[in-house]
Amino acid sequence: MMNDTIAIIILAAGKGTRMKSERAKVLHALSGRPMIMYVVDTAVKVAGDDIIIVIGNQADTVKNVVSAGADVQFVLQEEQKGTGHAVRCALPALPDHCQHVVILSGDVPLIKSLTILHLIDKHVNEINDVTVLGVNFDNPFGYGRIVVNPAGGVEKIVEETDASESERYLNIVNSGIYCVEKKFLEKSLSKIKSNNKQNEIYLTDIVEVANNFHKKVGLMICNDQAEVMGINTPEDLLNIETMQMKS
């Protein structure tokens, strides 16, 4: 299953204040294991040891826990300035042989390796510069929305806090999972600014950069909502643990 042209970046630097706990969010246990280890296990099946984890909050603790179970690299995001900034921190650690980069979130533990492989296949076969993994949600509250153009590509991704009223009615939401051509990822991240309400560098803005430069942005829809559900609250953790037990 492994692909030696692929490297994976896992974002795991956030504080997770909505978890109402002193523990780093990605270390909260899901069925007895830190949630990030599910993501790491999945990533290893796809990219072997070409995995970079961006750490920040409780960096040493997260590093020690993950290192005990996997051979991965770590980069430090000293200040949490957004997902785009986190990926930018990881760029120098990408291996030379890497041609495409898959970006995962450490708090989305049920994503499957087969889904990632399908995302990579679509990305490569369609010769996309960026391929976004989306999902249809009946109630998309809290998620970034994907605006699709008439050709079926991604026009833009808008965070809910920045979405217009009409955009909030869209039900294709962003999973936060991407496959990006490495050189374009480097170029696009150098052009993103933090001109939004959160004053952060959003990774989602690489889509706007791609469209401005007439690059190709594809979309793959994941049919299983549970796979891309993120854990932000204790209630989310309980819900996903219940889903995991039923599956």
Does some domain include residue 1?
no
Does some domain include residue 197?
yes
Does some domain include residue 222?
yes
The 10 Å Cβ neighbour count of residue 121 is: 14
User: Looking at the predicted structure, is the pLDDT value of residue 57 above 80?
Assistant: yes
Question: Average of pLDDT values for 34-60?
Answer: 97
Contact 6, 47 (CB under 8 A): yes
Task: Render pLDDT for 180-193 as a digit per residue (tens, 0 to 9).
Answer: 999 999 999 999 98
Does some domain include residue 171?
yes
Q: Provide the pLDDT confidence category of residue 162 given band limits of 50, 70 and 90.
A: confident
* Average pLDDT across the chain, whole number: 93
Does some domain include residue 74?
yes
User: Looking at the predicted structure, is the pLDDT value of residue 143 above 90?
Assistant: no
Does some domain include residue 47?
yes
Active-site annotation holder among 18, 23, 88, 168 = 18
pLDDT of amino acid 247: 66
Does some domain include residue 107?
yes
Domain that holds residue 225: 6-246
* 88 tagged catalytic: no
pLDDT of amino acid 139: 85
Q: What is the number of domains present in the chain?
A: 1
Contact 55, 9 (CB under 8 A): no
Does some domain include residue 141?
yes
Task: Render pLDDT for 101-123 as a digit per residue (tens, 0 to 9).
Answer: 999 999 999 999 999 999 999 99
What CATH number is given to the structural domain containing 149?
A: 3.90.550.10
